Amino acid sequence: MATKTIAGISVDVSGEGYMNDPSQWTKEIATEIAKEEGIDLTEKHFELISWIRTKVMSGEALTIRGIGKSGIVDIKEFYQLFPGAPLKKATKISGVPKPASCI
């Protein structure tokens, strides 16, 4: 298990930089990870991040289709908020493990 200092806090991360312990997550950590990914977080980002964290903590699997049905964003807006690899970036910033569906 690797350790990385993010926003002045030492956190356990996977080899790909995903947090291993979601309980270590803070908004400050999310903001710093987002900056590394080239994203400036807005309230809409945080609304979706909260939804993602709730789903993952309850044991539900995440999919892009599921996020599109969240009632927070549609799929097009999800891609705009997290350009490139939206599910990977969103989960990394949310402090949850990388989804099994992501390669």
**Within-domain flag for 20:** yes
Q: pLDDT for 8-57, tens place per residue?
A: 999 999 988 899 999 999 999 999 999 999 999 999 999 999 999 999 99
**Within-domain flag for 103:** no
Containing domain of residue 81, as a range? 2-94
**Within-domain flag for 14:** yes
Q: pLDDT for 70-92, tens place per residue?
A: 999 999 999 999 999 999 999 99
Torsions phi, psi for 55 (to 5 deg) = -60, -50
Active-site positions read 102
Total tally of structural domains belonging to the chain: 1
**Within-domain flag for 28:** yes
Say how far apart CA 14 and CA 47 lie, in whole Å.
25
**Within-domain flag for 102:** no
Q: What is the pLDDT of residue 98?
A: 82
DSSP code per residue over 25-91: --HHHHHHHHHHTT----HHHHHHHHHHHHHHHTTPPP-HHHHHTSSS--HHHHHHHS-SSHHHHHH
Q: What is the pLDDT of residue 102?
A: 63
- To the question of pTM greater than 0.85 for the whole model, the response is yes
